[in-house]
A and B are shown apart, each in its own frame.
Chain A
């Protein structure tokens, strides 16, 4: 099953990249705030049970995909 893991910096963590992009958007005259840049990871995990597939994706996040010091993930089974 296709799984989409969205990895975001935790709320308190400074995101200089997001800030730079926000300033860039301001430069074009856009009104925008709180730009945060994350990472999108697509996975194809064998299995038919969405709950089980999600649990396996969570295990992958815990082991490697996410650094809990600075990041959090949301998992979507497609």
Chain B
């Protein structure tokens, strides 16, 4: 179980990713500088971390998507390798066209740092298989651009193919505008590509895995990945 964490200038959740995968889960976790041309040999999961890569210049994630390491991340994804992008990592995966859509400024225009509830929409993915469909879990968000947007036809396609992995909800799992912190269309918090091996999400499961640091609502994602690894 080898995990690579690409680090860009301005990444600031890279150590959260390294801590969650390495210290908490005990996986071999390797930081990879964005200028590298190749992921470490035998990488099974690429965890694209959050932050403000390249100062969010031009558009969030736009410049990072062009970094040398991203070409190898695309190759890894094309070969069926697992890729998880969180927060700025999600924005980077969208800009790299590994996932559809774009993340605009929050409807409120404010940076939002809060705990949110997410409902599992797909429990058959390598990222969710240890959870149940409809299960609710609690993880933090911390972003100014998490307002997921897609044109109406593509949004309908995404919904129809089950591309939504996680949706913002109430503590009881109810869906609705009141529970969407950032204006994201259809309350979308996380999506998955057609093949099911690339997942992007705005909330931070890696910040809620270590009981020494607080709640552990994000563990479901990591337990799912552990199960995926054991199958390899």
Contacts and interface: CB of A to CB of B under 8 A. Distances in A.
A67 B109 contact: no
Given A20-B109, A64-B58, A14 B104 contact: yes
B112 interface: no
Chain A, interface SS category: loop
B141 to A, nearest CB: 17
Given A69-B101, A69-B150, A14 B66 contact: no
Interface residues of B, number: 21
Interface residues on A, range: 10 to 19
B105 A17 contact: yes
B183 A14 contact: yes
A12 interface: yes
A13 B66 contact: no
B10 to A, nearest CB: 17
A38 interface: no
Contacts of B147: 14, 16
B43 interface: no
Contacts of A67: 59, 62, 95, 102
Interface of B: 58-59, 62, 66, 94-95, 100-102, 104-109, 147, 149-152, 183
Interface of A: 10, 12-14, 16-17, 20, 64-65, 67, 69-70
8 contacts: A12-B151, A13-B149, A14-B104, A14-B107, A16-B108, A17-B109, A20-B109, A69-B102
